Structure 1
Amino acid sequence: MSSPRPAPRLLIGPVLRRVVGTRATVWVETSAPTVVRVSTPDGATGEATTFSAFDHHYAMVVVEGLRPGTTATYQVFLDEEQVWPEPESHFPPSVIRTRGEDDPSVRLVFGSCRETTQHATARRLPPDALDAYARRMMAAPDPGDWPDLLVLLGDQVYADQTSPTVRKLLRRRRNRSADAPADQVVSFDEYTKLYLESWRDPEIRWLLSTVPSVMIFDDHEIIDDWNTSAPWRVEVHRQPWWSERIASGLASYWVYQHLGNLEPEEITTDPVYAKVVAAGDATEVLRAFGEQVDAEAVGYDAALGRGEPPDDAAQAGRYQWSYSLDVGRTRLVVLDNRGSRVLDRVHRAMLPPAEWAWFTNQVQGEYDHLVIGSSLPWLLPPGIHHLESWNERLADSTRPRVAALSERLRRALDLEHWAAFRRSFDALAMVFARLGAGEPGRPGDRVGTGPAYPPPASISVLSGDVHHSYVARARFPGGLATPVHQLTCSPIHNQIPAPMRPLLRIGWWRGPSVAARALARTAGVRRPPVRWRKLDGPYFGNAVSTLCHENRTAEVTIEGTRSDGTLHTVARRTLTR
């Protein structure tokens, strides 16, 4: 007789992703195919059958029937067996909190760059700021003081800087595959080990089960310097393992991160989700999807390089990682700074034209505060900004030796932020100038043709990547009614090499910045359309930040970790007049 099938277990999750009105989405990974049900004591419920891919099993459950302005505990059932909360858990119950219609406050917690915890990482890092934030929430479990949304801005996992635990697994596998990197993940299954290791950290697991979250990738979800330049892309595509790496990285990102960014009604209309659910075993669907997304970006640049006009219809049909949502009177637009970059040197841009048009449409409307999520800072230390713009111009040189040397410098120093995509840097400044002036039309248009909206009370760009935290304010010619700030918080759990810290401090100094601007001018780089100054920072420890909106006021707080794993305030800044 065959032995009975083991009962399905909850491997990762529940992860509470979006709460929209009276509906919420809850994501899980299970050990076997099953039916997942999420319910609350007052009758709200949702159910979904898992979908499978690469011998892993997932479900996205839409919970309906929640009551506005309430906080409800919830349970998770697999085949009608309760698996969450866990019987012996000493953590507070996981809850789903809905907003009241007239709630004037919005609280966004954000940060980026989180390696696995001290127990798994090979390096001795300062305490994990997100762990510390979760422990503080548990110590004072008042949902009224909890954030509305956790915004994770990239490098949620590190595919190219793995922990000792993952490396041990990889060494066993690499004995059978000499072509793949010895200490980097390549396959979808290997990617799942990164998420299992990171999201099963007990404090993080509880936090993700209780605070809604949205996410966007940066380079380390795929590989350091991902899409930094056209020559980089040509070189990496020659690697025998790259096709599997990029397809697996994008497919796993869709499953673990992007699917939860969608609102409940968007999930059912997402073309990839429809195919995945219908497939039964979605392995080939997701593999083809990852290959297609990368091929579309490569093909677009190739067409530009041949001087062929882009196919507007094909571009409009490309899968888009950027997304937008409203929380109360705050609008959050999160931009893909990596996957959709245009790398052709004549047309270099952070986003392709169709996606940029989508962005300029999303920021139209009437709201109190605009928040842009960008894994890479828009405003860097001025000295570094000018250096990146100078390097971009020289990398486009017609002199091969100059271009090659500039390309090596670009990769060695990671000169790949908005400043190195000056067309996009200037375009974003124009968007903010139009919004802050309350001018009619789409913010990217040269001539206003649409309705005029009142200027928002604040515009904030949330970023990570650079492994230090700071607040900077932009200054536009003639001034704006709306204050515009760069809010950078990084890392959550990592650290910057000590020799880099003085260079980043110096980048804010006037003297070096003037010299860097003069250097950029020698290459024909025009002056930026906006100036900016640092208000707080730089802070180099592990940190998490909170952006608070109350009616038309805005305040940001940066909190760093102490050696005992608790948080302390590094900076607090009012952003509105």
Structure 2
Amino acid sequence: MAGLRLGPLLRYVDWESGSTATVWVEASRPCTVEVRCADGASGASPTFSVAGHHYALVVVAGLTPGSTTAYEVLIGSRRVWPPEDTRLPPSTITTPPATRPVPAAERTAGSDGPPAAEDPASPDGDLATGDPADPDASPTTGDPADPDGGRVDDPVGPHGGGAPAGPTGPGGDGAPDDPTVPAVPDPVRISFGSCRWAAAPGNGDDPVGPDALVTLAARLAADPEAQRPDVLLLLGDQVYADETSVATRRRLAARRDLSEPPGTEIADYEEYTYLYDESWRDPEVRWLLSTVPSCMIFDDHDVIDDWNTSAAWQRDMRATPWWHERIVSGLMSYWVHQHLGNLSPAELAADPVYAAVTAAPDGTEALRRFAAGADADPARARWSYRRVFGRVRLVMVDTRAARVLAEEQRAMLDPREADWLREAVLSDRASYDHLLIGSSLPWLLPPLIHDTERWNAALCAGVRGPRWARFGEKLRRAADLEHWAAFPESFDRLTELLREAGSGPDAPATVCVLSGDVHHAYITEPRWPKARPGRGSGSRHEPGPDAEIASGSASGTASGAAPAAHVLQLTCSPVHNSVPRSIRTGFRFGWSRTGRWIGRALARHGRTGTPSVNWGRTGGPWFGNQLMTLTLRGRNAALTLVQARAGARGAQLEAVLERSLTPEGGAISSHSTEC
């Protein structure tokens, strides 16, 4: 008799029709999986098989726009979800009101919220107290001596209380007579983070502190009326193939000799399934993922640390006997567990790989061929995707598999992927008020780190000769120098694309790059300086008080006015992982004036030129297990950061930041001090 092995995960909810969704499950044997909703909506799908495992992605149709409905999962006539003995709330699907075109007059900035609080940023873009050159200077949010950032009362976020989702959609603010024409735009709440090492502590004492996702799940499960996120963005390192837990190592040791490579790391598809078991089987997290839609993208640890750092790195790995099986299995398991749920039903129907895998009695070989081809030639696959949440557009970018690694052509995105990104961002700009770019790797880093990566890229390209190039390659691998800054032309092109997206009569209110990876949280804002003629591109982070703000192109020459939209880099990591003191000190130093001075010296040595953009830190750094939430309503935006902290009543989410991101905004949802 077939049973439910893993899931369900609520993945895609259609924000245009408000009538369809997809639910991912793994069954214990071949069967047909049915999802049945309390409002009469339903869907069913036979499982497909990969490497002895059986999966289904069920398309649920007939949902009522602007509603919340409970659902159950059946195999045959037997209900397998929710469990009979569960104490958790019902799993639900919440749909937005069906959308209608919104005239430009109704989208006037400032028309849907009270005035914003004064921008707390200092003139040079840094929130700091004491000596600005002090690498341990803390932000002014709360106690300046608090190394993890201060605590701010009245958070805005997915768990801040307020009215539950009701018949008029998330937040219950629509017009009850006609849910297709909301009187006031419903807020869209998007929570995000990255880097979740899901291993459960064996003795109840978690050495890296409470898991922010587990704590959020427990909070929402304990209070079904609490405001939930409309979507959860998981921005990489959902599993750690190169850092396995004690429990997973026991499972590995039961099937192979751990003294043989790859040792305690993951070797093949079956072992990858152990990681997803560990990550998604916690009862409260399982419930959370069954009721809050999720969007996912990989980062390096989903495969291996520093995946695709350089051409030399790739050559060395491909010469390693166990690597081919690791990368093929990593891409196969990502496709099954994460990628499929990112796609709409229409995209699934048009996907030839999905058609081949689901049509075969055993889809393993079809999926292996695809994964091997995607590793050999990144242009054969696209892992990036676009999603729409009302008047919010999300473009999730693959910053790992789509790289061009040849030193003379080095790019974060291959030409086909770069063209896709440009089209995904710039097409029909009048249709969105907020543009979100999901990039597992931050676009804007602490200045010293950015300049170090750009300097290192110049060395590796041979600007200082072959000896420096060899040193540069060793340093690149040892210090993980492989973010956007390590691909200088790609950094400049992304910078110009964001400027263009935020400019003109159809400019959105905000353009936000959402990232993780670096095991701390911060906010930074770019400023486009007027370029000086005859100079190349590079980086600069401290414009003078009289600097004229304009735009910069990839070549460092002016290409137009500064964007009208508020452009930000929002970085939040980890959800659950360690943050050694040395890393904290290093990142703080990277933001300091002394660090900036060292960065400028490196830029001169590497001949990296003058900048295409400037930026300053306007929030953070914050360290801890944490999640950020954007609350977007009309053309207003607010940001909340919460951290999971142990307390007498167990782990709690505590707000450390609330901030309006738009000058017309202000508080958008109800407030509480403890989440």
Length-normalised TM-score, structure 1: 0.91
Q: How far off is 1:104 after superposition? A: 3.3
Distance (whole Å) between structure 1 residues aligned to residue 4 and residue 202 of structure 2: 21
Residue 4 of structure 1 corresponds to none
1:264 aligned to 345, 350, 367, which one?
Answer: 345
SS in 1 for 2:409: coil
Could you say if the C-alpha distance between residues 178 and 284 of structure 1 is closer, same or farther in structure 2, counting changes exceeding 3 Å?
farther
Which of 431, 452, 456 is 1:391 aligned to? 456
User: Partners of 2:265 and 2:49 in 1: how far apart?
Assistant: 24
Work out the CA distance in 2 between the residues paired with 1:95 and 1:269. 28
Give the corresponding residue for 1:557. 640
Where does residue 569 of structure 1 map in the other structure? 655
**How far has the Cα of 1:140 moved from its partner?**
2.2
What residue is the counterpart of 1:421 in the other structure? 487
Indicate yes or no: 2:9 matched with 1:15: yes
* Displacement of 1:527: 2.5
Q: Contact conserved, 1:105 with 1:328, CA < 8 A, in 2?
A: no
Comparing both chains, which one has the higher relative contact order based on Cα–Cα distances under 8 Å and sequence gaps of 6 or more?
A: 2
* Deviations, residues 333-375 of structure 1 (Å, cap 9, x unaligned): 0000001111111211111111111111111222100000000
Match of 1:225 among 306, 324, 328: 306
Instruction: Determine which of 282, 286, 290 is the counterpart of 2:363.
Output: 282
- The equivalent of 2:256 in structure 1 is 174
Please say if 1:359 is aligned against 2:421.
Answer: yes
Q: Is the 8 A contact 1:109 1:547 kept in 2?
A: yes
SS in 1 for 2:643: strand
Partner in structure 2 of residue 3 of structure 1:
none
Q: Is the 8 A contact 1:468 1:539 kept in 2?
A: yes
1:165 CA drift (Å):
1.1
Matches within 5 A, 1:201-220: 201-220=282-301
Deviations 1:558-577 (A, max 9, x none): 11111231011122221112
Deviations 1:121-163 (A, max 9, x none): 99711100011111111222127x2111100000000000001
Equivalent of 1:508 in 591, 598, 602: 591
Q: Is the 8 A contact 2:453 2:486 kept in 1?
A: yes
- Does the Cα contact within 8 Å between 1:495 and 1:540 map onto a contact in 2? no
Residue of structure 2 in register with 1:330 after alignment: 392
Query: Does the 8 A contact of 2:243 with 2:265 survive in 1?
Result: yes
For the residues of structure 1 that align with 2:636 and 2:408, how far apart are their CA atoms? 41
1:126-165 alignment to 2 at 5 Å? 126-142=209-225, 145-165=227-247
Alignment of 1:398-437 (within 5 A): 399-437=465-503
In the alignment, structure 1 residue 455 sits paired with structure 2 residue 452: no
Partner of 2:131: none
Contact 2:37–2:70 (Cα < 8 Å) also in 1: yes
Which residue in 1 is equivalent to 2:198? Answer: 116
Q: Quick check: 1:117–1:201 contact (8 Å CA) kept in 2?
A: no
- 1:297-344 deviation line (CA, Å, top 9, x unaligned): 3xxxxxxxxxxxxxxxxx4xx210000011010000000000111111
Cα distance, 1:518 vs structure 2: 2.3
Note the C-alpha offset of 1:98: 0.3
Contact 2:461 2:469 in 1 (8 A): yes
**Superimposed CA distance per residue, residues 501-552 of structure 1 (whole angstroms, 9 cap, x where no aligned partner):** 1110011112321221221122110223111111111111000110110110
Shift of the alpha carbon at 1:295? 0.9
Percent of residue pairs identical: 51
Q: Tell me the secondary structure at the aligned position of residue 346 of structure 1.
A: helix
The equivalent of 1:302 in structure 2 is: none
Report the residue type matching 1:346 in the other structure: E
| Residue in 1 that maps onto 2:21 | 24
CA distance in 1, matches of 2:83, 2:186: 35
Q: Which amino acid aligns with 2:523?
A: V
Report the CA distance between 1:403 and its aligned residue.
Answer: 1.5
What's the counterpart of residue 376 of structure 1?
441
Paired position in structure 2 for 1:309: none
Alignment: residue pair count: 536
SS of 1:281's equivalent in the other structure is coil
CA offset digits 1:71-115 (Å, max 9, x no partner)? 000010011210111111000100000001334311101000001
Q: CA deviation at 1:119?
A: 2.7
Cα–Cα, structure 1 residues 252 and 120, in superposed 2: closer, same or farther, change >3 Å? farther
Matched residue type, 1:471:
I
After superposition, give the CA deviation of every residue in 1:232-251 in whole Å (9 maximum; x if it has no partner): 00000010011100000000
Q: Distance in 1 between matches of 2:610 and 2:362?
A: 54
1:406 Cα offset (Å) = 1.1
CA–CA separation in structure 2 for the residues paired with 1:284 and 1:119: 37
1:98 aligned residue = 95
Distance in 2, matches of 1:460 and 1:174, equals 45
Is residue 183 from structure 1 mapped to residue 264 from structure 2 by the alignment?
A: yes
> Displaced runs of 4+ in structure 1, greater than 6 A?
none
Q: Take 2:366 and 2:260, find their aligned partners in 1: how far apart are those partners?
A: 25
Q: How far apart, in 1, do the equivalents of 2:568 and 2:519 lie? A: 18
Amino acid at match of 2:645: R
Verify the 8 A CA contact 1:104 1:328 in the aligned structure 2: no
Given that 2:252 and 2:264 are in contact with CA atoms closer than 8 Å, whether structure 1 keeps it comes out as yes
Check conservation: 2:453, 2:481, Cα contact below 8 A: yes
CA distance in 2, matches of 1:481, 1:513: 28
Q: Distance in 2 between matches of 1:237 and 1:201?
A: 35
Mapped pair 1:494 → 2:599: no
What residue in structure 2 maps to residue 339 of structure 1? 401
2:187 & 2:644 partners in 1: Cα distance?
A: 26
Cα deviation for residue 180 of structure 1 reads 2.9
Bigger helix share: 1
Q: How does 1:435-450 map to 2 (within 5 A)?
A: 435-438=501-504
What SS does the corresponding residue of 2:200 show, helix, strand or coil? coil
Q: Secondary structure at the match of 1:339?
A: coil
Counterpart residue type for residue 187 of structure 1:
D
Q: Tell me how far 1:431 sits from its aligned partner.
A: 0.7
Give the CA deviation at 1:42: 1.8
Contact preservation (8 Å) 1:159, 1:223: yes
Residue type matched to 1:332 in 2? L
Contact 1:94 1:209 in 2 (8 A): yes
Paired AA for residue 397 in structure 1: G
Change (3 A) 1:374 1:120: farther
Shift in Å at residue 120 of structure 1? 5.6
1:321 to 383, 394, 404: 383
Cα shift at 1:178: 6.2
On the 8 A contact 2:437/2:512 being kept in 1, the answer is yes
Question: Which residue pairs with 1:307 in the alignment?
Answer: none
Instruction: Please tell me whether the aligned partners of residues 500 and 563 of structure 2 are also in contact (alpha carbons under 8 angstroms).
Output: no
Structure 1 residue matching 2:242: 3-state secondary structure: coil
Root mean square deviation, CA, Å: 1.5
Distance 1:528 1:192 in 2: 45
Query: 2:374 aligns to what?
Result: 293
- Measure, in 1, the Cα distance between the counterparts of 2:68 and 2:391: 20
TM-score by length of 2: 0.78
Shift of 1:424: 0.9
Deviation at 1:273, TM superposition (A): 0.5
